[in-house]
Amino acid sequence: MSIWSREARYRPLSDVDPESYRQMKEEVRNSPWRFRFHIQPPTGLLNDPNGFVHHDGSYHLFYQWFPLGPVHGLKYWYHLTSKNLVDWFDEGAALIPNDDPDSHGAFSGSGFVKDDQVYIMYTGNKRDADWKRHTSQIVGRLRGDGRIEKFLPPAIPDVPDGYTEHFRDPKVWREDDVWYCVIGAQRSDLTGCVVLFSSPDAYVWTMVGEIKTTLPDFGYMWECPDYFVLDGIGFLLFCPQGLAADGDRFRNVHQSGYIQGLPIVLPHTDFRHGPFQELDFGFDFYAPQTTLSPDGRRLLVGWIGLPDTTYPSDRYNWANALTLPRELKVIGGKLLQNPAVELEALRKETIFDSELVHSGMSKIADAETFELVLTLSVPLEEGLTLIVRASEAEETFIKYDAATRTLTLDRTRSGQEVASESFGTVRRTTLSEPLHHLRLFVDSSSIELFANLGEAVATARIFPKHTSTALKIEGEFEGNVSIYEL
């Protein structure tokens, strides 16, 4: 990473001649580990999902993008649209960081529909000659030609008193004819929090105050906040940075999760809530963003990746992907996350579909990119292990232990190492009820695991050889296993 000079990181795409960029694209296209069914960058680095919104029959989804290498540099917004959350149409770069307030990056933000048009609000990141950061919040509108028109000067030109320049990622919504947005912030005493603004028209914004939580000292910065009410419960999502690991929790470099409680009675800012809970117990999940589908489902997309992390595919000049869209639901007061139903359209051939009374270890299929659904008809006595993307030298384990109800994802032998392995190669969670259902999506270099119909989710990059395709099951169980090629 250090070979990337500041100059190289802040070089705009427009500086590169089309032929060199075409070659870069070609190199990326030929890279191993390119995804088959996930959103990934054509070149360079993808990070947070941005501007996720549905309008006029299409979903709009953008992502943070540095075009010229697998590092965090000058950020653009790359744009995709979809009618079904499965087939994504590539709309190209939509937001270009070429104005003074966003001269060092068009940072994260959200989308909303106003006057029957798609609007966004994002963070302009600027550095002065001494490399001092200045952030502002900018409103923009998606034009018919696919570019975002910015309304400058910024709607929120400066950081309010009491906060540092780490003030970013506005998430906008509307309630009772008032526009609101939450912004991720760092207080002057270097603790993280979320700040609320309101507006009559989504152009002129006034600070309401901090969302008052019972977590006054919980990490040094909260990034990418989101707030919504689902089934009568208020959810505040955010990504706290700087938490120490705590048993099986908080094992990654930064965390992503939520607190839930009685809905905030806006414009008041008191939030009575329970403990912080992680959204995903895997290795590579961060900066999620939600939106509503036209039929009222709350959908979530996250970044398969994390800040300050490098991957074996970096040497081919690209990095990261977005998660599959998940639908959020509340059952019995608990937040569940499942793959959006639309994703069933990804299924190609059925590789395996059978009722099993299983014992011992068996190889049941050869598959590289697939979905697996396991439904247990009888509670497990001991446990079971799924082994995917296996060969003699490589294997990825998903292991459930009935005695402790622990579910483990182990990438110790998954293939090429991820540099962040100083953070360990095993992740674990404890389920609140015995395992009865598992659903797995495996792409060329990722795995997304949904346990007990959304009670626990884990996302991870893995870097196996293309030829490591054995899929094995070990343990005594009765149930149904279906595997679909994707």
Structure letter (DSSP) for residue 345 = G
Residue from 40, 103, 123, 337 touching ligand FRU (CB under 6 A): that is 123
Q: Least distance in Å: CB of 64 to ligand FRU?
A: 4
Q: Least distance in Å: CB of 268 to ligand FRU?
A: 26
User: By C-beta, is 123 or 191 nearer to ligand FRU?
Assistant: 123
Q: Least distance in Å: CB of 80 to ligand FRU?
A: 17
Residue 64 binds ligand FRU, judged by CB under 6 A = yes
Identify residues 210-239 at the interface with ligand FRU (CB under 6 A).
223-224
Structure letter (DSSP) for residue 212 = B
- What are the DSSP calls for 120-167, one per residue? EEEEEEEE-TT--EEEEEEEEEE-TTSPEEEEEEEEE-SPPTTEEEEE
Residue 279 binds ligand FRU, judged by CB under 6 A = no
**Which residue is associated with the tokens 């900066």?**
287
Q: Least distance in Å: CB of 45 to ligand FRU?
A: 9
Binding footprint of ligand FRU, residue count (CB under 6 A): 14
Residue 108 binds ligand FRU, judged by CB under 6 A = yes
Segment (H or E) for 24? helix 18-29
Residue from 37, 41, 48, 97 touching ligand FRU (CB under 6 A): that is 48
* Residue 477: strand pairing partners: 358
Which residue pairs, CB below 8 angstroms and at least 24 apart, start in 410-413? Answer: 411/283, 411/460, 411/462
Q: How far apart are CA 274 and CA 35, in angstroms?
A: 37
Q: How far apart are CA 156 and CA 212, in angstroms?
A: 21
User: By C-beta, is 256 or 468 nearer to ligand FRU?
Assistant: 256
Which residue pairs, CB below 8 angstroms and at least 24 apart, start in 295-300? Answer: 297/327, 297/328, 297/340, 298/228, 298/230, 298/327, 298/328, 298/329, 299/52, 299/85, 299/325, 299/326, 299/327, 299/328, 299/340, 300/325, 300/326, 300/327, 300/328, 300/337
User: By C-beta, is 165 or 248 nearer to ligand FRU?
Assistant: 165
Q: Least distance in Å: CB of 276 to ligand FRU?
A: 18
Is the bond preceding 154 in cis, omega lying within 30 degrees of 0? no
Q: How far apart are CA 75 and CA 307, in angstroms?
A: 14
Residue 75 binds ligand FRU, judged by CB under 6 A = yes
Q: Least distance in Å: CB of 81 to ligand FRU?
A: 21
User: By C-beta, is 134 or 168 nearer to ligand FRU?
Assistant: 168
The tokens for 293 are: 């589908």
User: By C-beta, is 64 or 429 nearer to ligand FRU?
Assistant: 64
Q: Least distance in Å: CB of 303 to ligand FRU?
A: 7
Residue 314 binds ligand FRU, judged by CB under 6 A = no
Residue 110 binds ligand FRU, judged by CB under 6 A = no
Q: How far apart are CA 454 and CA 439, in angstroms?
A: 9
User: By C-beta, is 205 or 286 nearer to ligand FRU?
Assistant: 286
Would you call 248 a catalytic residue per the annotation? no
Q: How far apart are CA 319 and CA 316, in angstroms?
A: 9
Q: How far apart are CA 261 and CA 244, in angstroms?
A: 24
Total residues belonging to the chain: 486
Q: Least distance in Å: CB of 169 to ligand FRU?
A: 5
Residue from 43, 47, 396, 420 touching ligand FRU (CB under 6 A): that is 47
What CA–CA distances, in Å, run from 337 to 153, 219, 229, 262, 449? 39, 25, 15, 20, 11
Residue 387 binds ligand FRU, judged by CB under 6 A = no
Identify residues 411-470 at the interface with ligand FRU (CB under 6 A).
none
The tokens for 292 are: 């509503």
Residue from 121, 181, 287, 372 touching ligand FRU (CB under 6 A): that is 287
Backbone angles phi, psi at 13, to 5 degrees: -60, -35
User: By C-beta, is 52 or 400 nearer to ligand FRU?
Assistant: 52
User: By C-beta, is 122 or 370 nearer to ligand FRU?
Assistant: 122
x/- mask, ligand FRU, residues 145-184, rule CB under 6 A, reads -----------------------xx---------------
Q: Which of 15, 17, 48, 284 is catalytic?
A: 48
* Interaction site with ligand FRU (CB under 6 A): 47-48, 64, 75, 107-108, 123, 168-169, 223-224, 286-287, 307
Active site amino acids: 48
